[in-house]
Amino acid sequence: MERFMQRALDLAQRYRGVTSPNPMVGAVVVKDGHIVGEGAHPHAGMPHAEIFALRSAGKAANGATLYVTLEPCNHQGKTPPCTEAIIAAGITRVVAAMEDPNPLVQGKGFARLRQSGIMVECGMLEAQARKLNEVFIHYITTGMPFVTMKAATSLDGRIATQTGDSRWISSPSARRRVHEMRREYDAVMIGKGTLLKDNPRLNVRLDEELEGPQKIVIMPNLNVSARELTKMNVYRTSLRKPLIVVCNQGVAHRDAASRYAAHNIQLIPVEEVDGMINLRSLGRALGQSGITSLLLEGGAGLFTSYLKQQLINKITLFQGPIIIGAEGMSLVGHCQNAVIHDALRLKEITTKSFGDTVQITGYPTYRMHPVQKENQNSREDSCLPES
């Protein structure tokens, strides 16, 4: 029944932002129409949702149905195979929301369960399950982080006045939501302009102040020295996770790398493409380091580069009830759309109010050459996680 799968999805949702690089998974054990056990995967390296649900059910799992939001694994990773625990518990039927796209699993879990005589069904509330784990699905199938562009804008699409003032376009409750978003992402990225203009902390400030996601600054020419960076907020809030600076390969000689490394700053040199940092190569490098999700927080140059290279997966704008005017700073730079038909459109739009600010979220629909699409969908198997 769908209500049992919905309960499993709700359980999985509780651990948003803390299971990376693993997916969010929930499971419930049902017998005679009643839930007798439930659980969710709380953190990478800990038991999976099925194990917690089976432990919760105890002997009542024998002859019961297991509802789970993702196909159970059948391989030895950081934890033992869930399929063997399901079989040993005496479960007679497994209902899954979706197949696991991880090549280490991908149908093998279902096959093992069927081989042991367990009835298997797949596809219940699949759309919801896919949306829940959109980050994991993108990462595991492309080897690159899921990229979300986030900004606060005026009604006329400006992110700041001509002097750079942007405090505050959005409401206090909207800004709180931004901190919740930071907590949900592996890394947050800004450009050099935002670094110098705003000197942001990029940490998580909710009920308590936390270091938050890995912090990344795009600085093609390394024109802010390591010593200068150590005086900035983004460095001071990078405690357990060293600050990452992305630069052009041409300026990342050995001496430069040593100077930044001496201050515990990691340089990632990347080649240029059409005068811009090759963000696809950067995405592969970040994926190989285990970063599954990336939040872009400005500014317009960074947003424009990612849009031009068609690498933004999701856009979230917090639109405040103000008008700044043409002299203000635009959300993005030149995109050369001669007609409306060529303009980038968003799909699957959702809106939510935070006081006087409206959050608008959607997914870009790119018009790309088939070769580009093939390259975007290529997977770097070396960064696939052990679940």
pLDDT tens string 309-330: 999 999 999 999 999 999 999 9
228 is catalytic: no
Q: What is the C-alpha separation between 190 and 282, in angstroms, rounded?
A: 14
Give exposure, 122-131, as e/b (b: 16+ Cβ within 10 Å). eebbeebbee
| Least confident piece of the model among 19-33, 256-270, 365-379 | 365-379
Are 218 and 242 in contact by the 8 Å Cβ rule? The answer is no
- Helical pair 2-13 and 49-57, crossing angle rounded to 10 deg: 120
Element (H, E) at 231: none
Task: Work out the angle at residue 277's Cα, subtended by the Cα atoms of residues 271 and 282, and round it to the nearest 5 degrees.
Answer: 75
Q: Which residues share a beta bridge with 67?
A: 28, 95
What pLDDT is recorded for position 341? 77
Residue 190 CA, chain-centre distance (Å), reads 16
Report which DSSP code applies to 345. Answer: E
- Containing H/E element for 330? strand 329-330
Q: Which helix (H) or strand (E) holds 224?
A: none
Per-residue pLDDT, averaged over 161-184, amounts to: 93
Q: Are the CB atoms for 222 and 245 separated by under 8 Å? A: yes
Give every CB contact of residue 165 below 8 A, 6+ residues apart in sequence: none
What confidence category does residue 374 fall into, taking pLDDT thresholds of 50, 70 and 90?
Answer: very low
pLDDT in tens, 90-128: 999 999 999 999 988 989 999 999 999 999 999 999 999
Q: Please tell me which residue in 38, 50, 71, 297 is annotated as part of the active site.
A: 50
